[in-house]
Structure 1
Amino acid sequence: MEPADRDGRDGVWGAGRVAAITMVVVAILGVAWLIIELAGFLMMVFAALVLAAVFSSMASRVCRYTKMSRGPALAISVLLTIGVFAGVFTLFGSQLTNEFDTIQQSIPPAIDRVEAQLDQFGLGNSTRDMIRQGTGDISSMAARLGGFAMTATNGIANFVLVLVGAIFIASDPMVYRRGLLLLMPARAEEPVAAALDDASRGLRGWMVGQAVSSLVVAVLTGVGLWVLGVPASGGLGVIAGLLDIIPMVGPIIAGVPAVLLAFTVSPTAALWTIGLFLVVQQLQGNFLQPMIQKHAVDVPPAVLLFAVVAAGLIFGFLGVLLSAPLTVVVYVMVQRIYVKTLLGKPIKIAGRD
């Protein structure tokens, strides 16, 4: 009877194991389906978390220097942030709008100038077709970005929702932290809490470093293009600074309209413009990026590149914009929870030397 009983038990255990594996697979597929279906909502929540981290960091500094309570400090931080953006748009909004109009109107003549230059150099039709295909792709991408901008303009309610959510989260972040930890098993609370601390520290460090990097890139690009006599240098500098937030891909996208507009001046100006972007990106890659990584976390370049592509495929254009902070958070979580806790291997703590 023992062999039969053992076989019976083995059969039951085998069926139970198959059922457990099936449930795990179904759960994973279900979570993946929810992520895809709720992609827009999840990106809004993450955007609110990023903005809340900005407000919380500013409020902490105001509390430290003024000794006031967190509520008034947070109100000052929010009003200061909104005031800075409103002031910039008030002072330079019309000028930047005119420069963006100049960029839009100058791109088609610039493309014609490039094709004429190719004819002068006697390049074949195959090269011209390749250029036209590339410019068609750029125009298609610009149209998609324009459509997104139209959607974003009509989505003021979503922006208000993100802003209000960020203020609520920043007002008392410990409430949401405790609520998340209550959902964890008792033995998982400590590593999850440490992972949340690492993610928060890394995210704050990334934001400070990225703000400095974007400002420096915008100023250097704008001034350099102005010296070269490229039209709409201020608008092109703003575009370069804003797109600097997108790892790897952003500088390339920012350089395309600048080089095309430089061709309206002369081919030599276009070559100097390419050189300017190479110099600025070398500065960004060898000085500014290490500064960001020192205060945040050293994410390998290939990981950042593929993260941009993955975020774009899953979450759309908003995912591309938030790909860098999202990658920082996920990378830190994997390090702390998987590498440190489950595998027991040493890691470099985010934001610490």
Structure 2
Amino acid sequence: MGEATDRSGGRDRFLDRLPWLLRWAVVGSACLLIVAAGVYVLARIAALLAPLTIALAATLFLAALLDPVANWLRRHRTPPALAALATLLLLLGLLVGAIVLVWRLTADQFSDLAKQLDQGLTRTRDFLTSALPISPGQLDEWTRRAVSGLRSSAPDPVTGAATVAEAAGALLLVLVLLFFLLKDGRPMWHWVLGRTSDRSRPMATHAGGAGWRTLGAYTRGTVMIAAIDAIGIGIALVILGVPLALPLAVITFLGGFVPIIGATVAGSVAVLVGLAAKGPTTALLVAAAVIAVQQLEGNLLEPLIMKRQVRLHPVVVLVAVTAGTLLGGIAGAFVSVPITAVVYNVLRTISEDRRAGAHAPTGAPADPPSRSGPGDATGVAGS
């Protein structure tokens, strides 16, 4: 007993003799390594279960987007199952209608596109060889290597068929999960809260409500911003006479779900199509239009549409997108920023509740900030 006490006291005296900066570095490094190991393990598990992970993420995003519609139907005395089914049918109608509209408006352009692209590629080749220190032979060799690389990376028919079947199964899973989440979201959340203790239940309610509201606000805000980008750039492409303006607008809309990087890539695709089909002058005009629309969206519309609790610093966004891309590819890039925003607001809510409890009078329960939890009428899907 005395030997154990002496040994413990010796360790304490040894730690006390260390500089405070070194002690802070040791503790911080240990915590960082533990957190990083946990995140890495979760990311590897999610990557191994990629179809299920993507389906669950898509279900949560769609539920956060469609939750107000289902809640509105339930407030008008629609049964939960019927409200969830009507919301799901509305989503399918919008998707199918958008696909049919894009195909009808662009099918006639494919016949002329090959001729325009051939002429545009010839003009682009002449422009590059005259403006840059590149010979026509070097350009042809680089083009041949790029085409060969794309052909070698293309999947074989068996792999392509398996990928299509996997995507169809994941889509069906998303629809089924979305229906049950819209229908039974409140009982699911109440079951989760029932597994927590009476002391931690209010904090879990507040944190869950903050996370769900953040996800809903992020999803709806991102859809609105992506739609504004797509409409603005699409109108510019139509005015400039760039072929396939509507599919390019759809690509811009999808790229809007990957902050900063997605908009840049989608704009680059539009510029390349304008360069190949219409020449350098049109490409420069397309680039100017893309930059103007994105600057208007980033500096004016995003602060108005996105709530302050959802907005993250651009450095955090870039780091999150890069980490998500490295861990999960394109799917990781899509979900990295909303996950970061949700985690940040959940931790912020827990910290605020703990501070409120610490400043509460002794012997009296803390009065937490007024927030609608996930079990309230506007808190969670299916509530």
TM-score range, shorter chain: 0.7 to 0.9
Give distance in 1, aligned partners of 2:80 and 2:353: 34
**How far apart are 1:113 and its partner, in Å?**
3.6
* Amino acid in structure 2 at the alignment position of 1:174: R
Alignment partners' CA distance in 2, 1:173 and 1:101: 49
Output the amino acid matched with 1:124.
P
Pairwise CA distance, 1:105: 8.8
Task: Please give the alpha-carbon distance, in whole angstroms, between the structure 1 residues aligned to 2:241 and 2:349.
Answer: 50
Tell me, in whole angstroms, the C-alpha distance in 2 between the residues paired with 1:101 and 1:302. Answer: 44
Which of 336, 343, 349 does residue 336 from structure 1 map onto?
349
Match of residue 70 from structure 1:
80
Cα distance, 1:304 vs. partner?
1.4
The residue identity in structure 2 corresponding to 1:90 is V
Structure 2 residue aligned with 1:221, among 233, 250, 272?
Answer: 233
Given the alignment of the two structures, is residue 82 of structure 1 paired with residue 92 of structure 2, yes or no?
Answer: yes
Q: Are residues 101 and 252 of structure 1, via their aligned partners in 2, closer, same or farther at CA, if it must alter by over 3 Å?
A: farther
* CA-CA distance at 1:146 after TM superposition: 12
Deviation, 1:171, is 1.0
Within 1, Cα distance between the matches of 2:349 and 2:72? 27
Partner of 1:35: 43
- After superposition, the Cα gap between the structure-2 partners of 1:193 and 1:105, relative to the gap in structure 1 and judged at 3 Å, is farther
Equivalence for 1:6: 5
Contact preservation (8 Å) 2:83, 2:183: no
Bigger RCO of structures 1 and 2 (CA < 8 A, at least 6 apart): 2
1:183 offset after TM fit, Å? 4.1
1:280 corresponds to which residue?
293
Aligned with residue 58 of structure 2, among 24, 29, 47: 47
Aligned residues: 331
In structure 1, what is the equivalent of residue 337 of structure 2? 324
Cα pair 1:213 1:284 within 8 Å, conserved:
yes
| Equivalent position of 1:260 in the other structure | 272
Deviant stretches of 4+, over 6 Å:
24-28, 100-109, 143-151
Deviation at 1:199, TM superposition (A): 1.5
Within the candidate set 221, 229, 235, 1:209 is matched to 221
TM normalised by structure 2 equals 0.72
Closer, same or farther: CA 112–192 of 1 in aligned 2, 3 Å = farther
CA contact 1:43–1:319 (8 Å) conserved in 2: no
- Check 1:91–1:262 CA distance in 2 against 1; reply closer, same or farther (3 A cut): closer
1:159-308 alignment runs, 5 A limit = 159-263=171-275, 264-294=277-307, 297-308=310-321
User: By how many angstroms is 1:203 displaced?
Assistant: 1.7
Q: 1:48 to 1:189 in 2, by over 3 A?
A: same
Give how far 1:289 is off. Answer: 1.3
Change (3 A) 1:261 1:47: closer
CA 1:105–1:44: 2 relative to 1, 3 Å:
farther
Which whole-Å deviations, capped at 9, do the CAs of 1:27-72 have from their partners, x for residues lacking one?
97466324312332333322222222233221112234x3423332
Which residue of 2 is the match for residue 16 of structure 1? none
Q: Which residue of 2 aligns with 1:17?
A: none
- Deviations along 1:152-182, one digit per CA (max 9) or x if unpaired, are 6332111111221121122121222233334
1:261 counterpart letter in structure 2:
V
Rounded to whole Å, the distance in 2 between the matches of 1:105 and 1:250 is 29
Residues 233-281 of structure 1: per-residue CA shift (max 9 Å, x gap) = 1111111112111100111111222212222313211111111001110
Structure number with higher helix proportion: 1
Q: TM-score, normalised by structure 1?
A: 0.77
Higher mean C-alpha deviation, range 147-156 or range 257-266: 147-156
Distance in 2 of aligned mates of 1:89 and 1:150: 22
**Any stretches of 5+ residues in structure 1 without a counterpart?**
14-21
**1:118 matched to 2:128:** yes
Deviations 1:286-310 (A, max 9, x none): 2331133227612112211221111
Q: Relative to 1, partners in 2 of residues 1:99 and 1:320: Cα closer, same or farther, differing over 3 Å? A: farther
Structure 1 letter corresponding to 2:57: F
- The aligned amino acid for 1:302 is V
Give SS of 1:297's match: coil
Whichever residue aligns with residue 91 of structure 2, its letter is T
CA contact (8 A) 1:244 1:250 kept: yes
244 and 136 in structure 1: CA distance in 2 versus 1, 3 angstrom threshold: farther
Q: Secondary structure at the match of 1:245?
A: coil
Give 1 or 2 for the bigger CA radius of gyration.
2
Can you list the C-alpha shifts for 1:316-353, whole angstroms capped at 9, x where unaligned? 2222223333232122223223x4346779x9x99xxx
- Aligned partners of 1:98 and 1:36: how far apart in 2? 45
Correspondence for 1:92: 102
Identity %: 26
